[in-house]
């Protein structure tokens, strides 16, 4: 091999190698990310059922039926309600816990490991245990409330009570995980900033507001967006909270805690396998998630720039 050939191969290697290294990711993303999205969009434009071999083109009929269905709007309201109740307290608690763990505490490693345990537990196990805790007749929560003279609550029957119960499951499972993310970000803050603030007489809460939160804003934005995406797709918690029967699909006898994913599941697998309608629901969910994630990002960025 002469020198000019070696030189051409070297230049080709320098130019092509970076693309070849990252190509596997994009190939997998195209196969398991973009293709399902495109195929779901195609199915949503058809009257598509697994019980029939004919898939007639329906245009936007599935989307029109979906937007005209009051149960869809009910599921959307329930999803947003559970999202707010489960995400806002979760992130605030995570921030506070991470701040406490930056202080000099005995057994700090034990607490850090303990915070991750709820996240290790299966979602199904968490939902089953909390469903028992919130039981109407034999639940521990009602036993405590009755001991305090507040009376028993039928957590599944009410809209607000069921949303609170499901939100508690989400908070318990994800608070520790987010706290560890915040804690990792806090480790990068120079300690001399806290020492200077302490010398100036700033309290721990003031240090959290004036030093910690401004320094970890990119991490806060990340957790807000990820938590929002998860909250809009919550499925196992409301399904198992219903206990059994058809309520596991409808989110209670009055659909009081049916989320968007349960609504999609109901039409995809419990109403004649209406895959066309379920695909339209999935695409509307996708658009809603993107819009809310973008609004969340813009809102947090606006707060950051204004402060």
User: 72: which residues sit within 8 A by CB, 6+ positions away?
Assistant: 66, 260, 263, 281
Q: What is the pLDDT of residue 304?
A: 62
Q: What is the pLDDT of residue 214?
A: 84
Closest CA to 236 of 131, 80, 158: 131
Low-confidence ranges of the chain (pLDDT < 50): none
- What is the maximum span of the chain, computed from C-alpha positions, in angstroms? 92
The pTM score is 0.83
Structure confidence by residue, pLDDT tens digits, 90-111: 999 999 988 888 877 777 788 8
Token pair listed for 218: 């990119």
Using the structure block, give the residue that is written with the tokens 């329906």: 58
User: 279: which residues sit within 8 A by CB, 6+ positions away?
Assistant: 40, 41, 43, 44, 48, 62
SS3 assignment, position 46: strand
Alpha-carbon span 88 to 171, nearest angstrom: 9
Alpha-carbon span 132 to 243, nearest angstrom: 9
The DSSP secondary structure of 227-260, one letter per residue, reads HHHHHHT--HHHHHHT-STTHHHHTSTT-TT--H
Token pair listed for 20: 């070849």
Alpha-carbon span 9 to 11, nearest angstrom: 5
Token pair listed for 267: 């039409």
Structure confidence by residue, pLDDT tens digits, 137-184: 888 888 998 888 888 888 888 899 999 999 999 999 899 899 989 988
Sign of the C-alpha dihedral, residues 209, 215, 221, 226? Answer: negative
Q: What is the pLDDT of residue 71?
A: 92
Q: What is the pLDDT of residue 246?
A: 75
Domains of the chain, each with CATH number or no CATH: 3-32 (no CATH), 60-303 (1.10.3720.10)
């Amino acid at each position: 091999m002469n020198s000019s050939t070696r030189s051409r191969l070297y230049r080709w290697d320098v130019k092509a190698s970076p693309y070849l290294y990252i190509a596997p990711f994009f190939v997998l993303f195209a196969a398991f990310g973009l293709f399902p999205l495109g195929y779901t969009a195609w199915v949503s434009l058809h009257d598509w059922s697994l019980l029939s071999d004919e898939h007639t083109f329906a245009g936007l009929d599935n989307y029109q039926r979906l937007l005209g269905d009051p149960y869809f709007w009910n599921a959307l309201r329930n999803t947003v309600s559970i999202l707010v109740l489960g995400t806002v307290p979760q992130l605030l608690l995570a921030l506070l816990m991470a701040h406490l763990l930056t202080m000099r505490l005995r057994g700090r490693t034990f607490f850090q490991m303990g915070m991750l345990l709820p996240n290790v537990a299966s979602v199904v196990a968490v939902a089953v245990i909390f469903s028992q805790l919130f039981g109407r007749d034999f639940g521990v929560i009602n036993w405590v409330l009755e001991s305090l003279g507040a009376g028993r609550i039928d957590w599944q029957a009410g809209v607000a009570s069921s949303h609170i119960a499901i939100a508690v499951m989400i908070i318990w499972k994800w608070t520790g995980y987010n706290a560890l993310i915040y804690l990792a970000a806090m480790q990068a803050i120079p300690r001399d900033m806290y020492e200077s603030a302490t010398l100036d007489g700033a309290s721990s809460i003031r240090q959290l507001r004036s030093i910690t939160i401004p320094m970890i804003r990119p991490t806060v934005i990340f957790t807000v967006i990820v938590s929002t995406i998860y909250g809009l797709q919550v499925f196992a918690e409301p399904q198992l909270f219903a206990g059994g029967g058809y309520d596991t699909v409808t989110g209670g006898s009055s659909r009081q805690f049916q989320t968007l994913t349960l609504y999609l599941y109901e039409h995809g697998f419990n109403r004649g396998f209406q895959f066309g309608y379920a695909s339209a629901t999935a695409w509307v969910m996708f658009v809603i998630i993107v819009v809310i994630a973008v609004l969340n990002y813009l809102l947090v960025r606006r707060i950051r720039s204004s402060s």
